Amino acid sequence: MKDIAETRESYLEIIGLWKMFGDFVALRDITLSIDEGEFVCFLGPSGCGKTTLLRAIAGLDIQTRGRIVQAGQDISDLPASARDFGIVFQSYALFPNLTIRRNIAFGLENIGLSREKIRQRVDELLDLVGLPDQGEKYPAQLSGGQQQRIALARAIAMSPGLLLLDEPLSALDAKVRVHLRHEVKELQRKLGVTTVMVTHDQEEALAMADRIVVMRDGVIEQIGPPTEIYREPRSLFVADFIGEMNQLAAVAEDGDAVRVGEVRLDSRQHDFKPGEQVIAAIRPDDLIPHEAGHKPDADSGNCLRVRLREMEFLGSFWRCSLGHQSLGGQMLIGDFSVNAARRLSLEEGGEMMIELPASRLMIFGRDESEDGDD
């Protein structure tokens, strides 16, 4: 996959983009390059500027400062109508008084295609989104998921160079959402269209994106492939926003270690000085479960005896709340496979040993604002 990514050409360049609403800075110096055919997700909490950035790319809200280049052309000052994109919004935004066919054909009718050509293209698009027999219905006669597929068909009808999606799946119920996730991704691959999707659903971003752009308060916190964002978060904000993360108040020690309560734990490499207040972070699925009597070897220390305060069955794994007196009252969450739970006879109230692999124990500063360095 790396090879493909490396041979790709940049398709969309965003250079030093700012957007102000009065005195309020909604986007602060955003610079970002998106490759041809890439699927990029803008991910971040509500109000961080995702929609604002997408609308700037579309020309629906012109940036205050900065430039946007699409397919080698500077489009910074072009109105939306002169740009080359298809867009899908969270609300289906279909024309309620037009049939599904007419909804999809809308843009095609405006460029003067023959009726026969339009009919063919609409048939093709209905097939593509898996709704070949729904053309004569009206939007209200379709389910939310079906309406969103039609919105997608309409967005790609003119074969745009860029597909923009603003939370297209978030109004749908969980099951439909997960199903459509795969369909949208497959369609995008098939068409090879460069795609930007806004979402605040980290699972969606992890599942769909080639690269994720994590945003916060109008700035980009981190850009990278899903596995990198998940495994190598550059700040506590990213670590915490994407996936579950245990955070333990800790004190830095010499030699890439920290002290949590009374326990010294080896950690990833860190640059904190001994005595500095830090946060030791580890994902619940990175805790390795052992039976209570487990004897750690000398070279794989980092073991803690804990009590299972609570166990929650989440289908494919158990989410366990773990307490330990020497952690100074702090709790840890551990996700253990159903197999592991059976093998180790885990039960609420019982004891067990957990290993915190040093390679998975990340150390961040206590003060969030000091973490954003790169």
Ligand X SMILES: Nc1ncnc2c1ncn2[C@@H]1O[C@H](COP(=O)(O)OP(=O)(O)OP(=O)(O)O)[C@@H](O)[C@H]1O
Interface contacts to ligand X, rule CB under 6 A: 21, 24, 26, 44, 46-52, 200
User: Which whole-number Å values give the CA distances from 244 to 69, 79, 252, in the listed order?
Assistant: 36, 41, 23
**Residue choice 51, 70, 188, 235 for contact with Mg ion (CB under 5 A):** 51
Q: Which does 26 bind (CB under 5 to 8 A by kind): Mg ion, ligand X, none?
A: ligand X
Closer to Mg ion by Cβ: residue 51 or 194: 51
Instruction: Please report, as residue ranges, which positions from 318 to 337 form the binding site for Mg ion (by CB under 5 A).
Output: none
Q: How far is the CB of 242 from Mg ion (least distance, A)?
A: 18
Closer to ligand X by Cβ: residue 166 or 286: 166
Closer to Mg ion by Cβ: residue 50 or 234: 50
Whose tokens are 């459509």? That residue is 180
Q: Which does 47 bind (CB under 5 to 8 A by kind): ligand X, Mg ion, none?
A: ligand X
* Type of residue at 94: L
Closer to Mg ion by Cβ: residue 48 or 258: 48
Q: How far is the CB of 30 from ligand X (least distance, A)?
A: 12
Q: How far is the CB of 88 from ligand X (least distance, A)?
A: 14
Contacts of 342 (CB under 8 A, 6+ apart): none
Q: Which does 328 bind (CB under 5 to 8 A by kind): Mg ion, ligand X, none?
A: none
User: Contact between 52 and Mg ion (CB under 5 A)?
Assistant: no
Q: How far is the CB of 47 from Mg ion (least distance, A)?
A: 8
Q: How far is the CB of 108 from Mg ion (least distance, A)?
A: 28
Structure token digits, residue 200: 């605040």
Using CA atoms, how far apart are residues 33 and 47, in angstroms rounded to an integer?
22
Helix ranges restricted to H, the chain? 2-7, 50-58, 100-109, 115-128, 144-156, 174-191, 202-208, 226-231, 236-241, 338-343
Strand partners, 220: 215
Closer to Mg ion by Cβ: residue 51 or 70: 51
Q: Which does 21 bind (CB under 5 to 8 A by kind): ligand X, Mg ion, none?
A: ligand X
Burial tier of 48 (Cβ tally within 10 Å: 0-12, 13-18, 19+) = buried
Which segment (51-59, 185-193, 219-227, 322-330) binds Mg ion by CB under 5 A?
51-59
Q: How far is the CB of 50 from ligand X (least distance, A)?
A: 4
Using CA atoms, how far apart are residues 210 and 192, in angstroms rounded to an integer?
12
Structure token digits, residue 8: 């790709």
Burial tier of 99 (Cβ tally within 10 Å: 0-12, 13-18, 19+) = middle
Q: How far is the CB of 174 from ligand X (least distance, A)?
A: 18
Which segment (34-42, 46-54, 78-86, 146-154) binds Mg ion by CB under 5 A?
46-54
Q: Report which DSSP code applies to 371.
A: S
Using CA atoms, how far apart are residues 213 and 184, in angstroms rounded to an integer?
19
Neighbours of 186 (CB within 10 A): 10
Closer to ligand X by Cβ: residue 20 or 176: 20
Using CA atoms, how far apart are residues 76 and 255, in angstroms rounded to an integer?
50
Q: How far is the CB of 44 from Mg ion (least distance, A)?
A: 9
Pairing of strands 194-199, 39-43: parallel
Q: Which does 90 bind (CB under 5 to 8 A by kind): Mg ion, ligand X, none?
A: none
Closer to ligand X by Cβ: residue 44 or 284: 44
Whose tokens are 């579950």? That residue is 244
Site string for Mg ion, 352-371 (x = CB under 5 A): --------------------
Burial tier of 201 (Cβ tally within 10 Å: 0-12, 13-18, 19+) = middle
Closest CA to 167 of 87, 113, 84, 226: 87
Q: Which does 81 bind (CB under 5 to 8 A by kind): ligand X, Mg ion, none?
A: none
Which segment (47-55, 157-165, 209-217, 288-296) binds Mg ion by CB under 5 A?
47-55
Residues at the interface with Mg ion (CB under 5 A): 51
